[in-house]
Structure 1
Amino acid sequence: MIKERLNLSDEDVKMCKQIGFRTLSLCSIMEMEKMQALAYVRVMIPVINRYYHTQEERIEGYKRRHWELFNTTPTVAGFITGLSAAMEKQASEDSTMDKKSINAVKASLMGPFAGIGDSIFWGSWRIVATGIGLSLALQGNVLGPILMLVIFNIPAHICRYYGPFLGFGLGSKFLSQVSESGLMQFLTKCATIVGLMTVGAMTSSMVSLNIAYVFTMNEVEMSVQSLIDSIMPSALPLALVFVCFYFLKKDVKPITIILGIIAFSILGRFIGLV
């Protein structure tokens, strides 16, 4: 269906499938200077080999246009790689085209697409899938982790698979259409709202922090936890989430935060605080 809608030939479909498969490993080759550049070169090998026939042209394509800094969310990177393929095709057919624009378009798209991909898949959909999976796992249901992986990966892989087709088929006209319609800003805002709602729901239902300390006032035992809950229910779990978020903003590693929570829990249980 997508072949007819985008007017793609059999060779185009074969190439887009190769691009999509290679895009799966975009984060498998990371280096600090140019991030995903080497993996991007690997993605573009079928494209360069198809449209350029001399060694000099192929080396120029690999080295000058694709061995440059690139870093975006791999889930949505397929569209950019497909668009690069469309521009390489145009460059091979039009000798007057400025080939530097291929890398310029890549560089201009990787930031916005990273924002969209991170917001939708990492910031929102992964949390939704994890929340559903955890709700089952907490009940001892083995389907919890399986369902989490299925819910997250099916939309993610659909996006990975069709991204190169859309990028190659729509070509550069997509850039002006999306920019004029404000679609990127709308998607990012919606994804952020959904993600925050999900985090709030998970904080209330899945984060637990109780103060076990009990004191006596006028010969009446008073629980610190009941006093806090009477003022604001789930205040302590919310405070714990904000503390974790603060440390994450300070670039503290998640594993360090987890170990800190474990140490705090053990110490609190030992002294009778939690």
Structure 2
Amino acid sequence: MNNKQISKEEKKLLNKVFWRSFLIYGSYNPMRASGIGFLYAIMPFINKYYIKEDERIKAMQRNAEYYNITSAISTFPMGIIASMEKENSATGKFDSYSINAIKASLMGPLSGIGDSFFWGTFRVIAAGIGIGLAEQGSILGPLLFLLLYNIPAIAARYYGTFLGYGLGEKYIKEAYEKGIISTLTKAAGILGITMVGAMIYTTIGLQTGLKFNLSGMEYNLQDILDQVLKGILPLSATMICFFFVRKKVSASKIMLGIIVVGAALSLIGLL
């Protein structure tokens, strides 16, 4: 769907989403990452299309869940989710679980592209040009760096909003008409869970340094655990935290518990 097929009212809402997206990391936290910022960005759509208060609350709770993605392309999923929320508000047959499933499945692949292009490549090139001029005493150095990086990043953010909305509205309707939305939701859920599992393994550096002797042989407990399942300790720690989250324990208490338990295990040599 191109911009001509989007109504003037929808364009106004999408422009609000675009401007609000600049504050996506204003409330970043370990539990939801930029989930609150995501919710704030698409609130114009939620307020517009959800008339009943209970439905609006459910939509807000749904969109405040964990969200972490390269900022320059963060608006593409916003556009898709905005179109899904609009569709959900219009029909009682919409599977609301698919909204979070789609969002979770997009974070990993899009972050890989966004981080590689904007952070790993484009920012480095822009910085190289800017530093070269700055070393010569030119004021153009920092100015060019900011312009060379931010112009394409902001353009991607702006057009990504409309592109995501257009694609979402077009293909979601087709998926429902053809009866494939359930398959799409299941596939997105599997991809999202896979992404979370990979994130746990790569970001939580939990290992044990415990060694013991048995029949004259020294064994490293971490090596044994790795043979059972790679990343079993990070996974176990995550599941324990998830258990307490389900029990409505506050994030601050969980983090305090992690600090206390981690310190205690380090003192006795288990970590």
Given that residues 73 and 114 in structure 1 are in contact (C-alpha distance below 8 angstroms), is that contact kept between their aligned partners in structure 2? yes
1:1-274 alignment runs, 5 A limit: 3-4=3-4, 7-63=5-61, 65-171=62-168
Q: CA RMSD in A?
A: 2.0
After TM superposition, give the deviation of residue 41 of structure 1 in Å: 1.3
**What TM-score results when the alignment is normalised by the length of structure 2?**
0.61
Distance 2:113 2:22 in 1: 18
Unaligned runs of 5+ in 2: 176-271
Q: For residues 45-79 of structure 1, what are the alpha-carbon distances to aligned partners after superposition, in whole Å with 9 as ceiling and x for unaligned?
A: 1011111101111001001x112111111110111
Unaligned runs of 5+ in 1: 177-274
Aligned-partner SS, 2:18: helix
Distance 2:8 2:15 in 1: 11
Distance 1:39 1:137 in 2: 35
Distance 2:64 2:36 in 1: 6
Distance 1:87 1:42 in 2: 16
After TM superposition, give the deviation of residue 3 of structure 1 in Å: 2.2
Distance 1:173 1:18 in 2: 21
Q: For residues 95-114 of structure 1, what are the alpha-carbon distances to aligned partners after superposition, in whole Å with 9 as ceiling and x for unaligned?
A: 11101100110000011111
Distance 1:116 1:173 in 2: 24
Amino acid across the alignment from 1:81: M
Flag the 1:40–1:124 CA change in 2: closer, same or farther, 3 A: same
Given that residues 136 and 144 in structure 1 are in contact (C-alpha distance below 8 angstroms), is that contact kept between their aligned partners in structure 2? yes
Distance 1:29 1:95 in 2: 32
User: What percentage of aligned pairs have identical amino acids?
Assistant: 42
Distance 1:134 1:174 in 2: 45
Aligned-partner SS, 1:72: coil
After TM superposition, give the deviation of residue 130 of structure 1 in Å: 0.4
Amino acid across the alignment from 1:139: Q
Q: For residues 203-236 of structure 1, what are the alpha-carbon distances to aligned partners after superposition, in whole Å with 9 as ceiling and x for unaligned?
A: xxxxxxxxxxxxxxxxxxxxxxxxxxxxxxxxxx
Question: What is the total number of aligned residue pairs between the two structures?
Answer: 174
Flag the 1:11–1:172 CA change in 2: closer, same or farther, 3 A: closer
After TM superposition, give the deviation of residue 172 of structure 1 in Å: 6.1
**What TM-score results when the alignment is normalised by the length of structure 1?**
0.61
Given that residues 41 and 67 in structure 1 are in contact (C-alpha distance below 8 angstroms), is that contact kept between their aligned partners in structure 2? yes
After TM superposition, give the deviation of residue 174 of structure 1 in Å: 6.5
Amino acid across the alignment from 1:11: E
